[in-house]
Amino acid sequence: MTSAWILKRKNRRIEEGQYNICKGVDRTKREEIEKKLRTLDAASINDALRKRGSVDESIKSIKQGDILCGPAFTAKCCPGDMLTALKALDEISEGQVLVIDGGGITKFSLFGDLMAMQAKLKKLAGVVVDGAIRDVKSVRGEGFPVFCRGIVTKAGTATRLGEINVPVVCGGVIVNPGDWIFGDDDGVVVIPKEKVEDIIRDAEETLKREAIIREAIEQGKSISKLL
């Protein structure tokens, strides 16, 4: 049973050209969750998720060292068309992560430098594209996190409107609006919004255990006997 099949059953089918807007996350609560998540890393979060939340490993940051952290605002694009992502930029709120479901297609860009400029002005937490971007030098220069599957020169069309802020698939993982997105140099993980506090607690415990193991290794003990 694939993620795409599950998503197809889960989504309510709507006519092309319509889209849904979901309410944002309470700002105070969001800031509290974000502060805790930023003390973690993608690997420890993945362990807490029992390895069920990591998107495809080909979706990587375009700039080493960037940290992506925020609640998802989604755009389900028509194949090779960026109009839905453009509309999503108009609706998304400060601090959210724009998750663009481009179906994994990397022949056409769904995000570029002008969109990055608007995203930065709106103070987004970052962008994840299951597809390609272009203008990568300028996008890097905007100074906020962008993760994607590929980099190309050819822009997508902007003529067909898909769906905004509905469940999407990003790198093989279902992303619901409001789910938490975290990314670093290791990759991107998706944390279900209803489980985020439990996942944070488990990831914190993982890091505490690793700290103890590090101390033991420094004292000359074998890692094979510690794990």
Reported as a single tens digit per residue, the pLDDT across 63-98 is 999 999 999 999 999 999 999 999 999 999 999 999
Thinking of the domain 3-226, which architecture would CATH place it in? 3-Layer(bba) Sandwich (3.50)
pTM of the prediction? 0.87
| 9-18, 110-119, 161-170: least confident range | 9-18
In the chain, where are the structural domains located?
3-226
pLDDT at 182: 99
- Residue 40's SS3 state is coil
Let me know: does 155 contact 77? Beta carbons within 8 Å: no
Determine the Cα–Cα distance for residues 16 and 107; give it in Å rounded to an integer: 23
Determine the Cα–Cα distance for residues 165 and 210; give it in Å rounded to an integer: 37
The one-character DSSP state at 56 is P
What percentage of the chain carries pLDDT values higher than 90?
A: 77
Let me know: does 126 contact 68? Beta carbons within 8 Å: yes
